[in-house]
């Protein structure tokens, strides 16, 4: 095949919608991941993780992180006051509550009863009438039966595991009239301590390089208008050996590594033998992508028209 034909063939694949949909479906942990997440909700490790996540979300640092993301959305021209928002995968309300504080009415979709309970405890009484909690898995909701087709001004999904296939993203888009926000990994997760433990356990789960590239390409091919931002974020930690040992089951479980008695014992032995000085230093992070889809665009005369 000539070089010109090779380039032409590659271009055809690059702009072939079905190729990208199939490629994402094949690499995605989509349905498998969702089933694992559903099972994980019932574990003690999830309860520990969820409680810690909630506590961290509402620290000053956690609130500032939420404010930065909301600020980026507002800088794109989104006025949250008066909007109706569907918060998909709301957890314990880390965005639901600030949205309502800014004058939005929010439907928070969150399947975890633990997160729902924590959210109810955290919502200020003055915001109760502005927030409705739906205890269901978003990907299992019938948008038509609920009457959610184009019901909300803004569909919002921050690091939501359900947003791991195009069908679910289209489901989110179908609920919104004006905007859709999706954030996801834009590269493999980085965790220096877990990388050490993978070698010790001899388990190497396939790297998930993130859904960002697939989402961007499919939005482009489907003629959506959108704005993106990719950031590199790294956090550094120092913990005592005992703290790390206490967290092993939780951390291995959330990273889909084995948590059987033998694996936990092997991991604990490694931590104690390697970090004899009593302190473990490690880092976590990765590239994170934000996408704001604008479903309505002003035309040259200022009339609002829907992006196809």
| 118: Cα separation from own chain's centroid | 19
- Phi, psi of 283, deg, nearest 5: -130, 155
Task: Retrieve residue 46's tokens.
Answer: 């999830």
- Please check the confidence at residue 8 and state whether its pLDDT lies above 80: no
Question: Both tokens of residue 225?
Answer: 């208008």
Note the pTM of the prediction, 2 decimals: 0.82
What are residue 109's DSSP bridge partners?
88, 134
302 pLDDT band, cuts 50/70/90, is very low
Task: Identify the burial level of 22 via C-beta atoms within 10 angstroms of its C-beta, where 0-12 means exposed, 13-18 middle and 19 or more buried.
Answer: exposed
pLDDT at site 20: 65
The total number of residues written for the chain in this structure: 308
Average of per-residue pLDDT across 77-106: 98
**Contact of 284 with 235, CB cutoff 8 Å:** yes
pLDDT at residue 9, rounded to an integer: 54
Residue 2 has pLDDT above 80, yes or no: no
C-beta atoms surrounding 215 within 10 Å: 24
- Residue-wise pLDDT for 213-263, tens only, equals 889 999 999 999 999 999 999 999 999 999 999 999 888 887 878 999 999
- What the chain holds in terms of domains, given with CATH numbers, is 13-189+207-233+286-306 (3.40.50.150)
Token couple for 294: 């604008």
Between CA 219 and CA 186 the distance in angstroms is 15
Nearest to 103 by CA among 85, 120, 80, 86: 80
């Amino acid at each position: 095949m000539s070089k010109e034909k090779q380039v032409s063939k590659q271009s055809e694949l690059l702009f072939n919608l079905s190729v990208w949909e199939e490629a994402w479906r094949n690499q995605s942990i989509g349905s498998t991941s969702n089933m694992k997440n559903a099972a994980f909700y019932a574990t003690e490790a999830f309860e520990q993780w969820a409680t810690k996540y909630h506590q961290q979300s509402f620290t000053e640092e956690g609130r500032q992180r939420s404010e930065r993301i909301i600020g980026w959305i507002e800088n794109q021209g989104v006025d949250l006051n008066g909007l109706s928002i569907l918060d998909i995968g709301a957890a314990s309300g880390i965005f639901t509550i600030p949205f309502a504080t800014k004058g939005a009415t929010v439907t928070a979709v969150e399947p975890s009863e633990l997160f729902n309970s924590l959210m109810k405890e955290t919502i200020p009484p003055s915001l109760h009438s502005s927030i409705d909690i739906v205890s269901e898995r978003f990907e299992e909701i019938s948008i038509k039966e609920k009457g959610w087709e184009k019901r909300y001004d803004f569909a919002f999904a921050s690091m939501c595991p359900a947003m791991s296939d195009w069908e679910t993203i289209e489901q989110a888009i179908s609920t919104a009239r004006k905007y859709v926000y999706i954030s996801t990994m834009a590269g493999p997760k980085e965790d220096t301590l877990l990388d050490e433990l993978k070698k010790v356990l001899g388990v190497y789960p396939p790297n998930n390089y993130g859904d960002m590239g697939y989402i961007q390409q499919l939005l482009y091919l489907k003629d959506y208008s959108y704005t993106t931002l990719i950031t590199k974020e790294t956090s550094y930690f120092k913990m005592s050996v005992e703290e790390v040992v206490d967290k092993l089951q939780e951390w291995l479980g959330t990273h889909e590594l084995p948590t059987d008695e033998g694996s936990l014992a092997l991991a604990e032995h490694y931590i104690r033998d390697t970090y004899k000085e009593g302190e473990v230093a490690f880092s976590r992070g990765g590239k994170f992508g934000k996408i704001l889809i604008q479903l309505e665009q002003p035309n040259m005369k200022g009339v609002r028209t829907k992006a196809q």
